[in-house]
Chain A
Amino acid sequence: MVLIMADELVKIDHMTKKYDENTIIEDLSLTIHEGEVVVIVGPSGCGKSTLLRCINGLEPIQGGSITFRGESIDGKSKHINEIRQRIGMVFQSYELFPHKTILQNITLAPIMVQKRKKGEVEKEAEELLSRVGLLEKKDSFPRQLSGGQKQRVAIVRALCMHPEVLLFDEVTAALDPEMVREVLEVLLSLAEQGRTMVIVTHEMSFAKAVADRVVFLDHGEIVEEGRPVDFFEHPKTERAQKFLNTFTYDKVEKAK
């Protein structure tokens, strides 16, 4: 084990991402350390989701580099499948496989990709399912589950691959308000276990609770980053202040 490398899990170095002529992310550098929970916030269209997709090699980048434990992340490279096994990703729209049962959804990749024993994987899947309170749904199909349940299954599916970092892309944005909590509680318990996570979210109070570090992204660049207390209580930049203000409302003064 190379000690210098061990700490830096994901390193984004002067990365640029363009769609045709539109620059989505420009010259962005960010390092995710082992055991760290990084929350990325910012207005819609600021490039948060694109950034996560780049970290998983789902989007080609036009400049700079992204590395995972020193290995380059490139969607076209031969090693990408091996790297992706070590990077878990959970999508906003769950993306469970509709033609597979819950258990099959979770065990498909570990059995097929990692060539693990079916019995062992199923045992682990059941254990993880019971931890998120969904063991009795193991033989159901995704369409029979609520949004919150589907998202918890998607998290379990990612976990069952034993990833070294987990990427969460607005995982509660498609959920009804009362289901948001059941999903966020799973994320909180993962944070307690010391998992390395990169979370894109619009849930500010959750961000404050779970983050070791908050990164504020606007127009494809990091405007501000720091500890959650500092960022949420005393944002330094005007853009961050303005952004945070959109989540608070002044008391309405009624005309008499």
Chain B
Amino acid sequence: MIMSWEIMRAYLPLYAKALLLVLKIGWIGIALAILIGVGCSMIRHFKIPVLQRLVSVYIELFRNTPLLVQLFFLYFGLPKLGLDIDAEVCGALGLALLGGAYMAEAFRSGLEAVEPIQMESALSLGMSRRQAFLHVVLPQAISISVPAFVANIIFLIKETSVFSAISLMDLMFTAKDLIGLYYKTGECLTLLVIFYLIILLPVSIVGSLVERRLRYAGFGD
């Protein structure tokens, strides 16, 4: 198969536009996912009554259903309830809700990995529970969770490939559309792979740098 550089270059602006869309929705969705995840794991960690139950239901619901189904519900279901929702908002929201459930689990295991005696050690120095949590338990839990967070971020960005189902012109949509129009399958798919790598490789690299830095900073023997 001979690929035409000319064609690929002609498609480039369309892919670049899709890339920006993925970055925009991805960034907002992931930031929200981290907020939701940290919030939910705190609720579970501190065993806040009622909310704790709701959080468990939320996590199980969103971890065990595909993003595509969640997006359909948001995109086609919410308008029926009178909530008119923009496709981009819908995409970001779907990503945030799915990601939130995964981030909550990742962060919870980080919190659980900090030995309770670390808390006691801080208390024995006269710290309040709040101070001990914020200054001793939380920083350790965060650095323990970083690898799982990075894995989740990569997973979530890859999940944006189903956005085309709610008519968002993401990378996957662009590729499929162009193939349908011009039958330049090889070029389109190659560009698709390249553009996903452009987004994800930096995430991976920065992620492992952060992980290594945290490890050097104080963990392991």
Chain A interface residues (CB < 8 Å from chain B)? 53, 56, 58, 81-82, 84-85, 87-89, 91, 93, 95-100, 108-109, 112-114, 141-143, 157-158, 161
Contact = CB atoms under 8 A, between A and B. Distances in A.
B1 to A, nearest CB: 53
Contact of A143 (B128, B143, B219): B219
Contacts of A53: 120
Contacts of A157: 125
B135 A112 contact: yes
B4 interface: no
A138 B3 CA distance: 61
Contacts of B127: 81, 109, 112-113
A109 B126 contact: yes
Interface residues of B, number: 22
B121 A91 contact: yes
A141 B217 contact: yes
B190 interface: no
B218 A58 contact: no
Minimum-distance CB pairs A-B, first 9: A85-B126, A95-B121, A109-B125, A89-B124, A98-B218, A141-B218, A113-B126, A99-B218, A84-B126
Which secondary structure dominates where chain B touches chain A? helix
Contacts of A93: 117
Interface of B: 117-118, 120-128, 131, 135-136, 139-140, 143, 217-221
Given A53-B120, A97-B136, A158-B124, 9 more contacts: A58-B123, A84-B125, A88-B124, A99-B139, A99-B218, A100-B218, A108-B125, A114-B126, A158-B125
Contacts of A142: 218
Nearest to B131: A112
Contact of A99 (B120, B143, B221): B143
Nearest to B121: A95
Given A100-B218, A141-B218, A81 B128 contact: yes
B217 A58 contact: no
21 contacts: A53-B120, A81-B126, A84-B125, A88-B124, A91-B120, A91-B124, A97-B122, A97-B136, A98-B140, A98-B218, A99-B140, A99-B217, A99-B219, A109-B127, A112-B135, A113-B125, A113-B127, A142-B218, A143-B219, A143-B220, A161-B126
A161 B219 CA distance: 25
A205 to B, nearest CB: 28
A114 to B, nearest CB: 7
A70 to B, nearest CB: 19
A82 B128 CA distance: 9
A90 to B, nearest CB: 9
Contacts of B126: 81-82, 84-85, 109, 113-114, 161
Contact of A161 (B125, B128, B131): B125
A223 B128 CA distance: 36
A97 B220 contact: no
Contacts of A113: 125-127, 131
